[in-house]
Each structure stands twice: as C-alpha cells, then as structure tokens.
Chain A
Amino acid sequence: MSKIRVNDFTIKVGNVNGTGSASANALLMKIIFRMGVPVVGKNIFPSNIQGLPTWYEIRVTEQGYRGRSGDVDIMVAMNPDSYKRDLAELSPGGILLYDDTWPRPHFLTRSDITVIGVPLARMCNGAFKVARSRILMKNVAYVGAVAALLDLDLDILHTLLREIFAAKPKLIDLNLQAVALGYDYVKQHYPDSNKFKVKTRNLTKDKVMIDGNTAAGLGCVYGGATFGAWYPITPSTSLMDAFVTYCKQLRIHPETGKHKYCIIQAEDELAAAGMIIGAAWNGARCFTPTSGPGISLMSEFIGFAYYAEIPMVLFDIQRTGPSTGMPTRTQQCDIQLCATASHGDTAHILLFPADPGECFDMAVNALDLAERFQTPVFVLSDIDIGMNDWMTDELTWDDSYIPDRGKVLSSEDLKSVDKFHRYLDVDGDHIPYRTIPGTDPKGAYFTRGSGHNKFGGYTEDGAEYKEVVDRLKAKWKSAAEKLPTPIVRRAKQATKTAIISLGSCDGAVIEARDRLGADGVYLNYMRVRGFPFAKEVEDFIAEHDQVFVIEQNRDAQLLGLLLSETNTPRDKLIPLLHYSGEPLDYKFVRGALSEALNLRKTA
C-alpha cells in the first residue's frame, strides 16, 4: 500500500441541487477546520433551485494555500447524472465513494482508482421513515463515510451537530444516527482504505470561516451605513441578507423597537441606484449590492452621481457575462465596465478585495472614499470571494475609527462663508464643499446632471463646462494615492519577470509562484488593490522586462487599464486569462506561466 497523504488533498462532492448537500459539505469542512487544519471550500453550483448537478470542493491544505489545487483526490459521487464526468475528473490514485444501493460496475473500468461503495440510500431508507429526511440524511451519512475514510475527529463532528441543531434537539439524534450509518459501514467494510488522512494541527487559531458577502455586509454595519437599497440578483443577494441580519441584531432599539436603519428592496436596479443617490445626497451613508447586469442598468445614474458629485457605494459581485451569462459562475469581467460606467467621459474609483477579510475592510474604505471624493466607488468582488466560505484572519476593528464624511459644511461652517458655491475648488484639492439639505438657507444649491459651471449654475458655455469636467478628472486622479496600496511580493533573487494580478486570483497565483520558485523560476508579484492605479504600479512595471497579467476574463481587462493608465509599452504586458467560470487553480497558473516562459526562452 502506498504512503498515506496527510493534510494535503482535495475532496469533491458531486450532488443534486436542493437536497441539502450544502449543509453537509459545510459540516465536513468545519470538522477539518476545527481540527486545526486549513481548508478551502469552493461551491460550484447551478443557476437552479432543485434538480441540477452541483459540486462542492474541499481542499485540505496544511500549507494554508487559498486557491484550488486543480486535482480531485476523493470524489463523493452522489449524483448519477454526473457519475461519468466525476469519474473522469478523479486523479490517479484517488478514491471514488458512491452510493452502491444501485451498483455501477463500470466504475471498475478505471484501475488507477479505489472504488468505495456505500449503500447510503438503502441504509437511510431502512433507518428513517419520512421521505424528505431520507434524502437529507443520505447527505449526512456520506459525511460519516468520509469521516471514516479520513479519520476525522468524531467528537468534533458530534459537537458541531449539537451546535447546529441546538434549537431543534430532535434533529440531533437523527443526524448522529445518519453519521454513524456511514461511518460504521466504511470502518467495517473498508478497514484498510486510509490513503488520505486529516491529522490534528494547530493552524486555524485566530482564523474564521466566512464568505465575502457576509464580511462586506458586516463592513457596511461597522462603516456606519444606515441605508441600503437593492434589487435581488445572484450572487450579491447574500450581502444584503447579511446587512439585514446584523442590523436586526444591532440596530433595533430594545424597548421601542425602532430602527436605526432603512433597507429598501427596490423595484429594479435603476431604482436601487436612485435611492442610494438620494440618501447619500441627503447625508446618509449607504450602499447597494449588485452584479454585472445591475451595473449595466445603473449606469445612467452612475454617470449622474459622477457629474453631480454625489457619494455612491456599489458592490459588484461579479459573475460571468455577457448578458445573463452563467449567473452562478465566477469571473472578473466587469473591471472595465465599472471603471467608466455611464455615457460621456467618466472615470470611477475601484477597489479589488482578494478575500472576505478585505471585503470587510474595503466596505469601510469605500464608504469613506465615496464621501471624501463625492463620487461613485465600486467594490469589485466576485462569486468565488462573495459566496464561498474562506478561511481568513479573524476580522478586527479599531475602536478609534472615525468615518471620513468628507467636505461637508455645517450650519456653523456656513456662517463664515460669504457665499456658498457647490462646485468651487476652494482648497485647490479638486474637491468642492457640499451641504446637506435642511442645514442652512445659505447652503442651498441646485443639483443637476445637466451642464453646470463651478458655481453650480446651468451652463452651455464650453469653457465653463470644461473647467468642471477637468477638475473631475483631476479629482479622480488624486484618489490614486488614497486607495489601498498594492501588495508586492519580491522573489528570493532579483528578476526582470513579474506578475500583476488582482482579487480572487491571489491564492492560486501565490501558490503557483511558490512552486515555480522551488523549481528555480523567480517572479516578483504585485497585487493591485485599487483603481486609479498608484504610481507604484507604473514603477513596478518599469522595473521589469516582462509582466504577466493574470485575471479572470477573456478580454484582459486589467491589462487594458494598465496600458491606458500607465506609460507601458504594449508588448511588455502578457495576458494570462482564465474565464471558464470556475475559480482559478494554481495548476492553471503554473502551467500557463511555465509555457509562456519556455516559449519566450526559445523564441
């Protein structure tokens, strides 16, 4: 028997959507996490409520890498519709676990894998009476079976079940029973199949498992947002769900029941955009979560907010486009859309979080930046970050934080102002002062999306128009140095080759780069976190002869912005693009980099 692989392998569960598999997979992942071993969870699900195939990948990685491996070592095949594909995906030496209530002899056509049949349906049908619980418990039973295969800590499993069902004690026994069915069967019938094993470590202390949408919703609470408007759209819905949950918990007066927040489910994305513009114009901190199609719809309002200089915070949880695209698959395909959303000359501030921790921080950043610069700010997350549970450092909060409400004149301030003009650059920093309605008669002004001069008056005069839009451009540029700074990782040895990437590519890029480094291929790496780009970005490119730009879209959108916004020769930037809709894995990155580097050497 070959060596046992400890704490370094990937389990994939193929299941049928709507059967309760999500909870079973979350349970499996949490057991490993509580055993102190880092895990990565990726949900690859259909745009469907019930019936279509769905997969969940759990990567066990003692090294704490955060991307996918690109391998499947244990396949739990629960869906007959995807058996064929699931069997083919399994790596040599892997284990296929399936429900052999209905035996599938053709699995034996692969001699390089181990097949483990567990009669999950038969056992559950025997043990449980209600039809729905038979389906649900089948999933819990495979958790038991996998627990036996991997030697998972049963005490932790039992504790977790007791916590999950604390409010429904009747379900605890049912679940424990189901776990035992799977566990005992495997232990009894496959006592020697321990090819993969989880061993307890202490590597997840001070870590949490959280998804980016929850973290962003929590960030909006901590950032002091009091208003949110939204239109439901996958995959952004859970961001507002989180905001609602925390507001209910934290912002309702215990005696009066009165709310210190307001959330409106708008009639469409256009209205959601209008509502947050109205609320921000009127001095409330606010935001809207959406996805690419929502940004398309909101574009007219985004241009209005840009030109009339109204703070606006948008979370774009990117999914594959164009059009409806694949609504439950991930991409970074709205970078250029958001950079210049709306007709006319517009330029916006973008933030690129790479994990839920940054979603939390950048939600707060975005609320500050939008008010500081009086303009739309986009937080560009994606399905991978937004909807998957990531192991991340425990979120922390600095109690001395004071929101940056930007240049707002109070009634007191207005006393010392001779005459207030909304769009006058008084301080020479390209940012005018604004006033909130109801503050003071002196502060009144007329907000318009039509041509206006620096005094706020209507204009069709070319020179007056240009004066304002030129200041807007300067204002946008000045934001570059106020955004989260790029993160640079230098190679052990000096190199003229580098990577630039962003967002959810980070985990796979770091791992690919580590592994290439181990093979003697050295690359510097910069992860950009904001747009407009800081000066550092241009300097970093200038330092190198070739820079690979790794991103998840077809059209090299980040690369395009790097070309248009920095002084870089076109052939210096080499696109490495992944846009299948599945989260990026390190093997893809390593393969693409190796290939590109070898080709270049021989060229």
Chain B
Amino acid sequence: MTSFVKPFIRRKNEPTNDLGLVRADYDGAMSTLCAGCGHDSVTATMARAFFELSIEPHMAVKVSGIGCSSKTTAYFLRESHGINTVHGRMPSVATGAIAANHQLAYIGVSGDGDSLSIGLGQFVHAMRRNVNMLYVLENNGVYGLTKGQFSAAADIGSTAKKGAVNELPPIDPVSLALSVGATFVARGFSGDRDQLLPLIKAGLKHKGFGLIDVISPCVSFNDHKGSTKSYAHAYKYYNPAIHADYVPPSQQIKAAYAAGEVMPVKLHDGGEIRLRKLENGYDPRDRAAAIGKLFESGESSEIITGLLYINEDHKDMHDMARMEDRPLNQIPYAELNPGAAKLKELQKGFR
C-alpha cells in the first residue's frame, strides 16, 4: 500500500491569502486515519492556520514522532519539509533543526503516547529550553496504532473499550508544561475549530515553546461510554474559557475596548494576541493563577480550554544561546575557518 494522493481541486473564486495561495495549497496527502478521527479535524485546522497567516509553505517545517497523531504531518502542507522521526524523540530533532535555522515556522505534532510516556523526557526538556516551536499534542488517552492500551493521559476511572478500568493517575501535559517553563500553554478540543484555529495561529506567532493540548477523541478505541476522552464526555465537560485571537501587525486598529472584556498581549512580531471571555481577575500572564485555575477545574471534571498562560518576556533557545540572527546553516565556511596561521598560533600552548 502506498500513500494516497489527494486530488488537488481548485474552485472558482476561492479566497486567497496575502501570498495569492488558496486553502487547498496548504493540504497534504490523504489521511489514512479512521473516519471521524479527531486528529483529521486538527490537521485541517493547522492547514487553515498556516493559510490564514500567509506563511509560505516551504518556510514551515513539520516534525513528529510515532503514532496516529505523528502520521498527520504528512496530511497537510505538502510544500513543507516534514520529518517523521522516532517514537517520543521529535523534540530533540526539532531542537537541532531550530538551532540550525530559527527563521522557519516549526510545528510539532505528537500524541499523548509519544509525548507523555516514551517521550516525556524530551518533551519536558524542549519546554525548559523554550525552543521556538508550536507543539500540538493530540490527546486521546489511548494507544490507537497498537489497538487500545491506556496512555499516561488516561484519567483514573476511565474504562478501556474491553472494560478494564484505569487506576493510575494521569499526566496532564498542561500542568506539566506550566511547571517546567513553557511560555505559551493552551488546551483545545478537536470538536471546536473556532476556538482552536486562533490558538494555533497565536501559538505559531509566539516566540518560544507553545503547547496546545488538544482533546482529540479516538473513534475506534476510546469513544465509548465510560471513557473520559470520548466526544460525548468532552462535549459535556468542555469549558471554552479563554478565547485568544491573533491579530497580525498590519491589521492592528487602535480600537477602544472596555477593560475586562479584552486583554491584549504584545508579540515579538509586532502583532498581538487578544484574549476574550476572561473571567474577572484572571490574568493568563500569571503562572500561579494558571496552575490554580487548572487544579480548580480538575476538581469538577471540567475540561478548561483556551490560552491558559502566556509569557512573551522569556528568552527562547536561540537568544539564550546568543546566536547571531543569521541561521547557522547560512554562515559561509570562509567565516568559520580560522586558517593555517591561526592553527600554528593555537599550538604554541602544546609545546
């Protein structure tokens, strides 16, 4: 079996972005996931985010590990380089790639198996380094490709398709991210594209590590009664708390808005994120508040979503490494070669 080629259909009067490209220009190969999979919806939303941000596809890089979610990097942005690495190790490959050239837009796609079990270490360390990438964690609480084992994200009491009950506490990627220094932490739901799309756009524009934990139900192995990652459960407990819109630098209007209604957060590219639906007194720049909010909502089984935390002040990996703006992969060798005379001089100390 080879991968399916997705037909490239152009419609009349299709909307174009600033580059003159249409939404279909951001498609990839045909998905081979199950019909109704939450991941496909996330894939489409990611493609739309790149389209709406007018990012040239070849200036984007997609990275992933192993698992259903990791396969999806082939299903959008066919004119981007993509790299489907080894299980749980996508963050290190992304880190190296970003060290070599920080000027591309990097999106990592992973799942709860890939990120929270085998890849937990790399996931955490990429956040500590504040690697400038958006990391989309498609979370379904289950191992799909190996047919239905619990993942480390499964909630206590959640049941497997064949009836087994999970007794181990879940690892919550959002609270983990908050504790280790991620600078953009959000949760979304594959069933709510309206909320997810601006989150992805904002995450791509944020400078530093952005995590979006997307509840993305597995229709084949974890969508039954008793599962806390099913569509039904997600819809029931879903709380779209904080809405975040990305406003590019060019479109900023000095509109007045009532205090408490909208909170603007300035981004490094000159654009801003506008947060809406904020509860009174909640400030997503306050990490302790975000952690508190998360634990509070957890008590009531509520799935709190939206942009829970943002910090635009922390240096990203590139700045911490004091690298020059020109990417390492573009420095000509002439600038790197110290030369024969210098070698002679350096060896004076070896006599």
Contacts and interface: CB of A to CB of B under 8 A. Distances in A.
Interface of A: 33-34, 208-210, 218, 221-222, 224, 226-227, 229, 246, 250-251, 253, 256-264, 266-268, 270-284, 286, 300-301, 304, 308, 394-399, 401-403, 435-441, 443-450, 453, 457-461, 464
The 6 A-B pairs with the shortest beta carbon distances in the complex, nearest first, are: A278-B96, A274-B92, A275-B96, A284-B100, A283-B329, A437-B81
B213 to A, nearest CB: 21
B343 interface: yes
A443 B58 CA distance: 8
B89 A274 contact: yes
A260 B63 CA distance: 25
B315 to A, nearest CB: 14
Interface string B88-116: 01111111111111011000000000000
Contacts of B323: 258-262
Contacts of A446: 73-74, 81-84
A460 B336 contact: no
A279 B99 CA distance: 7
A33 B100 contact: no
Contacts of A443: 58, 81
B321 A259 contact: yes
A393 to B, nearest CB: 11
B347 A210 contact: yes
A446 B56 CA distance: 17
A444 B96 contact: no
B178 interface: no
Nearest to A274: B92
B350 A210 contact: yes
Contacts, number: 227
Contacts of A210: 347, 350
Nearest to B104: A438
A396 B346 CA distance: 11
B121 interface: yes
A388 B92 CA distance: 33
Interface string B76-88: 0011111111100
B13 interface: no
Contacts of A284: 96, 99-101, 328-329
B233 interface: no
A439 B58 contact: yes
Given A221-B338, A257-B322, A278-B95, A444 B81 contact: yes
B339 interface: yes
A188 B346 CA distance: 41
B336 A457 contact: no
A506 to B, nearest CB: 20
Given A260-B331, A300-B86, A437-B81, A283 B340 contact: no
Nearest to A267: B125
Nearest to A437: B81
Nearest to B329: A283
B164 interface: no
B2 interface: yes
A211 to B, nearest CB: 9
29 contacts: A218-B343, A226-B329, A227-B328, A229-B92, A246-B338, A258-B324, A260-B328, A260-B335, A267-B125, A271-B122, A272-B92, A274-B92, A275-B92, A277-B85, A277-B92, A278-B63, A279-B99, A280-B100, A284-B100, A284-B328, A304-B85, A396-B340, A396-B343, A437-B61, A438-B61, A439-B58, A441-B58, A443-B81, A445-B81
Interface string B9-27: 0000000000000000000
B337 A222 contact: yes
Given A279-B100, A449-B86, A224 B337 contact: yes
Given A34-B351, A444-B81, A458 B3 contact: yes
B254 interface: no
Nearest to A401: B337
Contact of A259 (B322, B333, B335): B322
Given A221-B338, A439-B58, A445-B81, A253 B103 contact: no
Nearest to B348: A208
B344 interface: yes
Contacts of B337: 222, 224, 399, 401
Given A284-B329, A438-B58, A271 B322 contact: no
Nearest to A221: B338
B340 A278 contact: no
Given A218-B346, A250-B342, A253-B324, A271 B80 contact: no
B56 A441 contact: yes
Given A259-B321, A267-B125, A282-B101, A436 B92 contact: no
Contacts of B81: 435, 437-438, 443-447
Nearest to A444: B79
B336 A260 contact: yes
A461 B344 contact: no
Contact of B59 (A208, A279, A438): A438
B255 interface: no
Given A260-B331, A396-B343, A443-B58, A278 B80 contact: no
Given A266-B92, A266-B125, 6 more contacts: A209-B350, A258-B322, A258-B323, A283-B329, A438-B58, A443-B58
Contacts of B324: 253, 256, 258-260
A99 to B, nearest CB: 31
Contact of A447 (B82, B91, B96, B346): B82
Contact of A281 (B83, B90, B121): B83
Given A260-B331, A266-B92, A402-B333, A278 B322 contact: no
